[in-house]
């Protein structure tokens, strides 16, 4: 992987991490289109640069991270399901990280859910800051686990989980952002501990550049996303996912992309 390819992947990550369209799926697609050879480092890179995008949440919402211990306990409760399943299914998840076909199918299925999500769940008032119960935090964490399948979108899964708990679109999206911090930190740390001996000096430079670019781009994307979903909802993202999934299936079955 060249530095230019790493920068392009990081830009894609920064834009898509907080949109319910799957950042991992888009990086897999982008990697396939650029002809990047699938290897262990590419898989590490795809997981690792998500941490750069996630850290932008800490900067933008730093006051929320110091508001109370109760806030941290809820994040811990919500992240436990992902930690357990991520550890148990790590090898299986790894085997799917190069599958464009898996991404195409999950994009389409998730797209249908997003199109109808506003009709399925009652909306609460965005102007009212609702306290999230511990049990609701746990349920949101369970929904997040669905995103272990590439193409599902961690953001989409946890936002949908939040809306099943009667959170507003804005509050569901923001809690999804907060939950991403411990989730992606743990995933990145675990992946690096498993593979750090195989990473050379030049690859460390690529990882650092990728994280920096993802961090800057994500800072810009978060604000725009919150404003958009608060006003318009998720339907447009559902249509986009279905359209992209169909295009990918066409390209796979015509031999233009590997499955």
**pLDDT, tens digit, 9 for 90 and up, residues 198-239:** 888 888 999 999 999 999 999 989 988 888 887 888 899 999
Task: Classify residue 143: in a domain, yes or no.
Answer: yes
In a domain, 258, yes or no: no
| pLDDT tens, position by position, 63-106 | 888 777 888 899 999 999 999 998 888 888 877 777 889 999 99
pLDDT value of residue 144: 92
Chain Cα centroid distance, residue 26: 10
Q: Is residue 58 part of a domain?
A: yes
Q: How many angstroms separate the CA atoms of 190 and 77, rounded?
A: 19
Percent above pLDDT 70 for the chain: 97
How many separate domains does the chain show? 1
Cα separation, 127 vs 176, in Å, equals 18
Structural domain containing residue 208:
3-253
Average pLDDT of the chain is 88
pLDDT band at 166 (very low <50, low <70, confident <90, very high): confident
Of the candidates 160, 179, 181, 132, the one whose C-alpha atom is nearest the C-alpha of residue 237 is 160
pLDDT at 123: 60
- Reply yes or no on whether the pLDDT at 258 is more than 90: no
Nearest to 75 by CA among 60, 88, 85, 64: 64
| Pair 26, 34: CB distance under 8 Å | no
**Domain annotation covers residue 127:** yes
Among 34-38, 103-107, 187-191, top mean pLDDT goes to 103-107
Whole-number pLDDT of residue 189: 86
pLDDT category of residue 128 using cuts at 50, 70 and 90: low
- The answer to whether residue 259 is domain-embedded is no
Q: Do the beta carbons of residue 219 and residue 56 sit within 8 Å?
A: yes
Comparing 70-84, 103-117, 185-199, which segment has the lowest mean pLDDT? Answer: 185-199
| Inter-CA distances, 49 with 72, 74, 148, 209, 228, Å | 24, 25, 16, 9, 25
pTM for this model (two decimals): 0.84
The residue with greater pLDDT, 75 or 24, is 75
Poorest-pLDDT segment among 41-45, 195-199, 237-241: 195-199
CA–CA separation, 79 vs 99, rounded Å? 26
Give the C-alpha distances (Å, rounded to integers) separating 79 from 12, 45, 69, 128, 134: 25, 22, 16, 25, 12
Quote the pLDDT of residue 40. 84
pLDDT of residue 126: 56
> Euclidean distance between the first and final Cα of the chain, in Å?
20
| 255 backbone dihedrals φ, ψ, rounded to 5° | 85, 5
pLDDT at 81: 94
Which of these ranges, 38-47, 121-130, 164-173, has the smallest mean pLDDT?
121-130
Provide φ and ψ at 258, rounded to 5°.
-75, 150
Instruction: Choose among 107, 140, 146: nearest CA to 20.
Output: 107
Q: Give the other-Cβ count within 10 Å of 33's Cβ.
A: 13
Res 124: pLDDT: 57
Domain-embedded: residue 157: yes
Q: Which residue has the tokens 């800490």?
A: 58
Residue pair 3/209 in contact (Cβ under 8 Å)? The answer is: yes
What pLDDT is recorded for position 196? Answer: 77
pLDDT mean over 160-165: 91
Between CA 171 and CA 179, with CA 173 as vertex, the angle to 5 degrees is 100
Res. 158 pLDDT band, cuts 50 70 90: very high
């Amino acid at each position: 992987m060249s530095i230019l390819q790493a920068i392009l992947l990081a830009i894609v990550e920064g834009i898509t991490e907080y949109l319910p369209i799957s950042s991992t799926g888009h990086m897999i697609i982008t990697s396939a289109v650029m002809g990047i050879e699938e290897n262990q480092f590419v898989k590490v890179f795809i997981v690792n640069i998500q941490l750069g995008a996630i850290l932008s949440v800490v900067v933008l919402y730093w006051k929320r991270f110091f508001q109370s211990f109760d806030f941290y306990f809820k994040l811990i409760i919500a992240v436990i399901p992902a930690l357990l399943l991520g550890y148990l299914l790590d090898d299986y998840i790894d085997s799917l990280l190069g599958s464009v076909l898996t991404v195409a199918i999950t994009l389409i299925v998730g797209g249908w859910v997003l199109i109808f999500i506003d009709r399925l769940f009652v909306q609460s008032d965005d102007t009212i800051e609702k306290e999230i119960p511990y049990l609701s935090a746990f349920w949101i964490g369970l929904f997040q686990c669905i995103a272990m399948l590439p193409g599902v979108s961690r953001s989409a899964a946890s936002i949908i989980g939040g809306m099943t708990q009667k959170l507003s679109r804005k509050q569901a999206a923001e809690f999804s952002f907060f939950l991403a911090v411990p989730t992606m930190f743990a995933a990145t740390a675990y992946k690096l501990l498993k593979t750090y001996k195989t990473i050379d000096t030049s690859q460390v430079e690529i990882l650092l550049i990728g994280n920096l670019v993802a961090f800057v781009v994500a800072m810009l994307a978060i604000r725009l996303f919150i404003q958009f979903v608060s006003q318009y909802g998720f339907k447009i993202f559902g249509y986009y996912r279905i359209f992209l999934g169909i295009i990918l299936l066409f390209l796979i079955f015509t031999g233009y992309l590997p499955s």
